[in-house]
């Protein structure tokens, strides 16, 4: 959604960066991207789902490749220091293992675009770890319904929390 000035809102910008990162994925079944942002919206890290460095995966066997793929969120956090990031934007709702890693890095908000597989434990962990879980679609609709709310650039207040 474009702001009044014709620019993407911060949330859409973050997910757009995650989408761009996903284009690097070798996975023929699902391409996932993630982008870690600091409090000032500067980029701390980006990542996509794929094989570990210098490792070849047999992409033809979907079930076997799933056991070996490094998730986009983990790759995005690879060079991020603990408590450096505030928000992680993902093309897909993170799994419970990724939520645990996100929490370990002190990230307070997860912004996602779509749900690939609903992981109820991931939702439970977000509540337990006090991580705001935000659907871009719901957030965008809320902004359309109430454009005065704007973006959450300073205090991160504009995201629609869907857990707890």
Q: What is the pLDDT of residue 126?
A: 96
Cα separations in angstroms, 56 against 38, 59, 67, 88, 119: 33, 9, 13, 28, 28
Question: Residue 36's pLDDT band (boundaries 50, 70, 90)?
Answer: very high
Question: Are residues 18 and 46 in contact, defined by beta-carbon separation less than 8 angstroms?
Answer: yes
Strand partners, 132: 109
43 has a pLDDT exceeding 60? yes
Q: Encode pLDDT of 59-105 as tens digits.
A: 998 888 989 999 999 999 999 999 999 999 999 999 999 999 999 99
33 has a pLDDT exceeding 80? yes
2 has a pLDDT exceeding 70? no
CA distance 101 to 136: 21
Alpha helices per DSSP H over 27-91: 62-66, 72-76
Question: Residue 14's pLDDT band (boundaries 50, 70, 90)?
Answer: very high
Q: Encode pLDDT of 112-163 as tens digits.
A: 999 988 889 999 999 999 999 999 887 666 665 665 555 443 334 434 444 4
Backbone dihedral angles phi then psi of residue 78, each to the nearest 5 degrees: -50, -40
Cα separations in angstroms, 105 against 89, 102, 131: 14, 5, 11
CB-count exposure of residue 7 (10 Å: 0-12, 13-18, 19+): exposed
Q: What is the average pLDDT across 39-61?
A: 94
Chain mean position to CA 97: 14
31 has a pLDDT exceeding 60? yes
Most confident of 3-7, 26-30, 156-160: 26-30
Q: What is the pLDDT of residue 163?
A: 41
Tell which residue, 70, 75, 65, 163, has the closest CA to residue 123.
Answer: 163
């Amino acid at each position: 959604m474009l702001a009044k000035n014709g620019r993407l809102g911060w949330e859409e910008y973050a997910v757009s960066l995650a989408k761009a990162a996903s284009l690097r994925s070798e996975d023929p079944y699902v391409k996932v991207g993630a982008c870690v942002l600091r409090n000032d919206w500067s980029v701390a890290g980006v990542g996509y789902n794929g094989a570990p460095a210098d490792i070849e995966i047999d992409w033809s066997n979907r079930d076997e490749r799933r056991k070996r793929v490094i998730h986009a969120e983990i790759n995005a956090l690879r060079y991020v220091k603990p408590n450096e990031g505030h928000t992680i934007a993902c093309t897909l709702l993170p799994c419970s293992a990724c939520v645990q890693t996100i929490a370990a890095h002190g990230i307070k908000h997860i912004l996602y675009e779509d749900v690939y597989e609903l992981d109820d434990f991931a939702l439970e962990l977000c509540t337990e770890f006090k991580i705001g879980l935000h659907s871009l679609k719901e957030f965008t609709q809320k902004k359309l319904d109430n454009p005065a709310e704007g973006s959450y650039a300073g205090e991160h207040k504009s995201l629609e929390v869907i857990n707890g």
